[in-house]
């Protein structure tokens, strides 16, 4: 039986699902991509090679194992991109939630069935069909659940809009003792610099009380100001639009004192170290071309509780 328990983003990690870049199927057609950054790299002839991404994920796995983390991997599906495990499910407290993801990506969820079947079946939750949600939009902070959403009337036409307002109410109903806080995100189908694909693409807690944030990723000023006040401006590292594009907020915490980051994030890594955090540097430059990074490729199953 696999034990699951996650209450925040930074407690010491014990087990995690790490996606896989094996058997991705080469360069996809423009009709089959679902983010603007991948689209631009296809058009520019710079879409990442499978071998390079496998190498990057192997290096990341080695760092996780260095800290004695149990690493699970999905079953490998032929000709299928399975890198971003974060989207397909998430754990809150001792419940595993299956995401309602884009129909194109449904097979990815089936590829972790062998892992889910080792959990208590009473703790595996499925949402109603009208609830759209992906794990990148769900950020846990103890008694709070932060959720990135999109509420525009054009929601059905915006492929980068992954989580709707119904998800907020569903989570609030499931966790009445927690405060579920929605954040409307800016979306763009064609311009990655203006697209907060998920909440973790423009915000993430790190350490014991710090956060990384890209203010322009948020649509509503009152929500942004609430979040800045919640963490305290002095505890936030604000990133630029270009740093957001390169996924600076999508680092991954192994513990309250250890963060995995890309070596190219010089300004961020310096700030993290100034807060006495250990930065494990792993190059994820090729995976970044698909508008995802370390947090996107992980699905934590258990973090230590106090």
pLDDT at 30: 84
Other C-beta atoms lying within 10 Å of the C-beta of residue 146: 23
Full strand arrangement of the beta sheet holding 70-72: 70-72, 13-18, 298-303
pLDDT at 28: 86
CA 129 – CA 21 distance, rounded (Å): 29
Q: Is the pLDDT of residue 122 over 90?
A: yes
CA 49 – CA 85 distance, rounded (Å): 19
pTM of the predicted protein model: 0.96
Q: Are 216 and 186 in contact (CB under 8 A)?
A: yes
292 HSE (CA, 13 A, CB side)? 27
pLDDT band at residue 157, thresholds of 50, 70 and 90? Answer: confident
Residue-wise pLDDT for 235-274, tens only, equals 999 999 999 999 999 999 999 999 999 999 999 999 999 9
- Cα 272-213-253 angle, rounded to 5 deg: 45
pLDDT band at residue 106, thresholds of 50, 70 and 90? Answer: confident
pLDDT at 102: 83
Q: Where are the alpha helices (DSSP H) in the chain?
A: 36-44, 50-66, 106-110, 113-116, 165-174, 221-231, 241-245, 266-274
pLDDT at 25: 80
- Rounding to the nearest 10 degrees, give the CA dihedral for residues 254, 109, 101, 49: 70
Cα 76 to the chain's mean position, in Å?
20
Distance between the two ends of the chain, CA-based, in angstroms?
A: 22
Residue-wise pLDDT for 22-57, tens only, equals 998 888 888 788 788 889 999 899 999 999 999 999
Domains of the chain and any CATH numbers: 13-303 (3.75.10.10)
pLDDT at 306: 65
Percent of the chain at pLDDT exceeding 90: 85
104 HSE (CA, 13 A, CB side)? 12
pLDDT at 63: 98
CA 20 – CA 7 distance, rounded (Å): 25
Residue-wise pLDDT for 176-231, tens only, equals 999 999 999 999 988 889 999 999 999 999 999 999 999 999 999 999 999 999 99
């Amino acid at each position: 039986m696999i034990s699951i328990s996650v209450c925040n983003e930074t407690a010491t990690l014990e087990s995690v699902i790490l996606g896989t870049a094996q058997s991705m199927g080469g360069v996809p057609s423009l009709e089959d991509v679902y983010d603007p950054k991948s689209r631009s790299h296809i058009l520019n002839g710079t879409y990442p090679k499978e071998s390079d991404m496998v190498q990057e994920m192997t290096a990341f796995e080695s760092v996780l194992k260095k800290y004695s983390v149990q690493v699970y991997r999905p079953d490998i599906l032929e000709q299928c991109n399975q890198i971003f495990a974060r989207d397909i499910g998430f754990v809150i407290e001792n419940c595993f939630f299956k995401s309602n993801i884009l129909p194109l990506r449904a097979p990815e969820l089936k590829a972790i069935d062998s892992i889910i079947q080792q959990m208590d079946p009473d703790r595996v939750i499925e949402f109603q069909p009208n609830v759209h949600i992906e794990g990148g939009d769900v950020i846990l902070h103890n008694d709070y659940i932060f959720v990135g959403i999109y509420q525009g009337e054009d929601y059905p036409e915006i492929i980068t809009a992954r989580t709707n307002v119904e998800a907020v109410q569903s989570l609030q109903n499931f966790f009445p003792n927690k405060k579920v806080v929605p954040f409307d995100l800016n979306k763009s189908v064609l311009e990655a610099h203006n697209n907060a694909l998920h909440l973790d693409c423009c915000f993430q807690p790190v350490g014991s009380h710090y956060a990384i944030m890209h203010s322009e990723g948020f649509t509503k000023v009152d929500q942004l100001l609430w979040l800045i006040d919640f963490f305290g401006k002095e505890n936030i590292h604000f990133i630029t639009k270009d740093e957001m594009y390169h996924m600076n907020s999508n680092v991954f915490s192994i513990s309250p004192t250890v963060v995995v980051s890309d070596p190219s994030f010089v300004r961020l890594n310096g700030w993290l170290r100034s807060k006495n955090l250990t930065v494990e540097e792993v190059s994820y430059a090729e995976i970044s071309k698909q508008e995802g990074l370390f947090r996107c490729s992980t699905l934590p199953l258990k973090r230590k509780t106090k």
